[in-house]
Structure 1
Amino acid sequence: MTKRPALDDVEHAVVALSTTALRDLGIEVTAIDDPEHGDVFLVGPDDERYFLQNLVAACRKLPESEWSAHIGAHFASQLEGRAAPDVAELSEPDLLTEVRTRLQPVDVAVDPELPMAYARRFTDDLVTHLCRDLPTTVETLTDTSLQGRDLDLLYQAGQRNTDAEPYATQDIPIDGTRGITALVGDSFFIATKARNMRRIIGTELGEAEHGVVFSVPHRHLLMVHPVTNLQSTLAVKEMVGFTLGQVAEAPGGNISPHTYFWYGDRVQQITHLDPDENAIVIESQGMFGDALALFS
């Protein structure tokens, strides 16, 4: 197992400021270094975990003078969200209003602290699980919290609510073919709009007869490109580069460094990591290769 690097100055500061912020809110915590998952988190007297990676990422972008206020506001909002009624206390209409679908890496669904055996596979490396979108926080729904609920109904309502999350678009032009459209927003669920690609085609692309190349670097971003001609390979190369750059600076943690191809509600991962070259390689085979072959 690779040893976790020592904490840098920002991480040390976030641990200390978070400990103080939680103490001010009446919660005594202990810092735990988890080398298996590469995380440092805090544990309270009720064994509740307080993960810090999002705060570390935020503080790296903020002036040091703002760190304490940002961290204090973060934990105040988090605790306020916990005051919301438990899932078991919610009526079906109330839960259907709050539920959202969310794309996450496969290993998120096997976290023993948040068991999600119900999570549904989207790609080889991604699953979709369910969350509650509360005013000040997002609550991950577990196997226990969903016991006895109609999962099909919740996934349908969750995707409908995720589809309705507001976003803006940015266009990235590509010579000789359709460009890349980036959907961006503050919502945690922008990337998960990829689960309803037919809606993205209808609202943003107009048509995509030969399929759509897309990526979901982090929760606030979805990039799409309709395969139009052989020059679409240029768009794919651009998207791969943008995706890797976005993953490196992912707010709140990344979803996937890979790029995918959608066609007829099937999804193919079209990049893989070459360990010998330590590089991302594009594969023009399978469904994606079949689409390109139509233009050769």
Structure 2
Amino acid sequence: MEAALTQIRDQQQQTWDKFSPGWKKWDTWTMNFMRPMGQEIIDALQIKETDHVLDVATGTGEPGLSIARLAPRGHVTGFDLSEGMLAVAREKAAQQALPNYEAVAGDVCALPFADQSFDAISCRMGFMFFPDMLLAAQEMYRVLKPGGRLATCVWSAPPHNPWIGTMMGTMGAHLTLPTPAPGATGMFRCAQPGMLAGLLTQAGFQTISEKEVQGTVTFDGPEGYWQNMMEVAAPVVTAMSQATDDTRAAIKSALFTKLEPLAVDGKISLPFGSLVLVAEKR
């Protein structure tokens, strides 16, 4: 991988390690949020109890830990760039008594596994952060057995994701947010329908399907939303790092003005949208 992409990878690693404590704190909330996409992935993979499965971008362990419960005579390898995230995954695997789950750190663009090692591959919310998405897909194809399946998901278009767009839009009214370079890593890099499907086709995958999964995610009122964004959402924290105290206060005030009318019984629910793709290796 060329030097510029290696630098992006290293920056990603530092970012996820930095945010791993926040992800641990919010893990129950995050896993509930991500469960619909994780369940779509699990259902698509049709896990057998003897399967060997690779869960790429496993983060704090899902959907790999859930898959491990479905493959008690198989094995699940949770793979991620961040050791900080993987420490949480290992802790959860021990708490759940899942000896068939292991967490391995490394670069998805250079998977440390032999050809045709896995019966299935899951990858929840990972592709948009890979420095070289095509190389990552080719590596997944290489380590997947013939007849195996890859199931992955990414965020769909920003208008379908007010759960993060509400915060970003409010910040944008008070801060000068940089315009991402074409192809830069980021949440909505794969949002264009058909974009990731085309990339998987280039990597050699066949029988590719794509569907949108939508829902709502709930926060404990405006203050709960604010705290979540400040502790878990990397692009928000990065942007807010340039704000003065006065600007930060103005953003919070404007945000609460938007959110307070949406509160029902102290809770706020905001929509999300994702794309779930399933592909086969013939």
Tell me the TM-score normalized by structure 1: 0.25
- Whichever structure has more helix as a proportion of its residues is 2
- Which of the pair has more CA radius of gyration? 1
Higher relative contact order (CA 8 A, sep 6+): 2
